[in-house]
Amino acid sequence: MTLNGWIQILVFCGIIILLAKPLGGYMFRVFSGERTLLSPVLGQIERGLYRIAGTSEQEEQHWTTYAAGMLFFNLAGFVFLYFLQRFQGGLPLNPAGMAAVPPELAFNTATSFVTNTNWQNYGGESTMSYLTQMVGLAVQNFVSAATGIAIAVALIRGFARASGRSIGNFWVDTTRATLYVLLPICIVLTLVYVWLGMPQTLGAYVNATTLEGAQQTIAVGPTASQIAIKMLGTNGGGFFNANAAHPFENPDAISNLIQMVSIFAIGAALTNVFGRMVGNQRQGWAIFATMGVLFVAGVIVCYWAEAAGNPLVHTLGIDGSNMEGKETRFGIALSALFAVVTTAASCGAVNAMHGSFTALGGLIPLINMELGEIIVGGVGAGFYGILLFVVLAVFVAGLMVGRTPEYLGKKIEAKEVKMAVLGILCLPASMLIFTAIAVVLPAGVASIGTPGPHGFSEILYAYTSGTANNGSAFGGLTGNTPWYNITIGLAMLMGRFLIIIPALAIAGSLVMKKTVPASAGTFPTDGTLFVGLLCGVIVTIGGLTFFPALAVGPIVEHLAMVLGHTF
């Protein structure tokens, strides 16, 4: 570890802290229906979209209607994207002549982008036409991210409102998230990325002659615009197969920093939106602090493990820092930081090969996802995910003091606790059950690239990434097979919608409750004690659930490395 590396990490953390409040304030005004700087430009477009959808900003919905609209919208997006891939060979904007995507891969990819996972069992530049990339994948990058933001805002309203029945309007929330938040920022980011050297063209691939006289085809395309929403919307799907390690997707250290900040920006700002909507910004900062503690702990362990490297290399008398699978443009510190950022958020973009990390270095991305992507998490998804843990934390606090648990003046009763537990447990159920099946079936083990505990980690990582709607790959596992395309697709659906529905049910239950004034016995939820309790609940649940699987994967691999064995 170096001083320069820590300075780079601290600069990133400082930028996120500085952005949370102003961006949160802007988003609060957007979702409260207040006038913003963009209202004169976008107001007419917004109202026109409502007329097309047959709704208005004054019309609000019960949580079941809100959920039904969300499910229908995502189903329509899935069907459109699936058939766009299946027929892309005969559609325009296909200068490289890409053929139709096979059925299992088209199912996996459509599911992946609709659920904001962006797991990629394909190489973008060798599989998808420009039309599919722009009209299919990029559009889903916007609307899946907007869906996550909308669900988070709806759940916040459940805590903020009292004695009501509605939690907002899905069509209004999604429109505002796209029109006022995602699109304007992405336009600015696209221009910056083009300035930094990313391609943005509809021209054909470029043929070049190498110094040896050989011919090489260089893939280009509308890259910058897709990278902007890929990072801001925590989608992670790369335009190129090498993702953020590709120089066209991530030219230098400046673009690398901008992309990491983009991944965290909206998720961090939603904590401030929460504080403003419930009338106490300290509540939002408490959740932000919880996320920060878990994030910093992960960065420290991952950076230390990669800087320490393999002890077998040290015995050779050379620097043992683990540069395997990393870009020399970014080095150890920024590669470790990027890995923790992209898995703390449900982004999945990678600028290094996680499978080439040391056992403990690769353990941290796994843990980040297994905790439910609640350390900032996906745009919206991370926030409503951590609120499920908040419900459990105040329930535990209520048990300890012997009174009915409360949060923000709302009584947390059996229904809310059951829904929170359901939402939390669906993740390990998918991750562990699919992994257990895959490691005993020939169709599952045939795809392993490395035997032993590392091979087990490859499978565990794949289903963890899919279920957590992250989309990053460990590397080594051949995922483009019928078995993995279908099962990881099912895991992505479970990880997305089996959390959203309980979260909306909690919102619908809480919004009808009266707000009870705080008393001398009310457990404060905006201080250090609550941050510690919430961290403890998250880590305890994650540890009890996943330690056995981690023990036979990265933990035993690390112990074997210490003893001189490699895989």
Q: What is the pLDDT of residue 132?
A: 94
How far is the C-alpha of 119 from the C-alpha of 124, rounded, in Å? 12
| Mean pLDDT within 247-272 | 95
Q: What is the pLDDT of residue 567?
A: 66
Residue with tokens 């109202």: 47
Higher-pLDDT residue of 523, 292: 292
Residues near 567 by beta carbon (within 8 Å), at least 6 away in sequence? 450, 451, 452, 453, 454, 455, 557, 560
At residue 128, the 3 state secondary structure works out as coil
498-510 per-position pLDDT tens digit: 999 999 999 999 9
Q: How many residues are present in the chain? A: 567
Q: What is the DSSP string of 48-109?
A: HHHHHHT--TT----HHHHHHHHHHHHHHHHHHHHHHHHTGGGSSS-TT-PPPPPHHHHHHH
Residues facing residue 167 across a β-bridge: none
Per-residue exposure over 517-530, b if at least 16 CB sit within 10 Å of its own CB, e if not: eeeeeebebbeeeb
Tokens of 52: 């097309």
CA distances from 367 to 134, 448, 555 (A): 33, 21, 12
Between CA 226 and CA 402 the distance in angstroms is 52
Q: What are 61-113's pLDDT values in tens digits?
A: 999 999 999 999 999 999 999 999 999 999 999 988 899 999 999 999 999 99
pLDDT in tens, 408-448: 988 999 999 999 999 999 999 999 999 999 999 999 999 99
Consecutive H or E run containing 214: none
DSSP, residue by residue, 106-125: HHHHHHHHHTT----SS-HH
Query: pLDDT value at position 499?
Result: 94
Section 162-187 average pLDDT = 95
* Angle (CA) 40 41 45, round 5°: 110
> Is the full-model pTM beyond 0.85?
yes
Percent of the chain with pLDDT over 90: 73
DSSP characters over 19-42: HHHHHHHHHHHHHTT---TTHHHH
- When comparing pLDDT for 516 and 59, which is higher? 59
| Residue partners of 25: CB distance under 8 A and separation at least 6 | 272, 276
CA neighbor of 341 nearest in space, from 386, 308, 385, 294: 294
Burial call 276-288: b when 16+ CB within 10 Å, e when fewer: bbbeebebbbbbb
One-letter amino acid for residue 371 of the chain: L
Cα 193 to Cα 176: distance, rounded to the nearest angstrom: 25
What is the distance between the alpha carbons of residues 219 and 199, in angstroms, rounded to a whole number? 10
**Which range is most confident: 118-127, 143-152, 320-329, 377-386?**
143-152
Partner residues linked to 278 by β-bridges? none
Model confidence over 452-508: pLDDT tens digits? 899 999 999 999 999 999 999 888 889 999 999 999 999 999 999 999 999 999 999
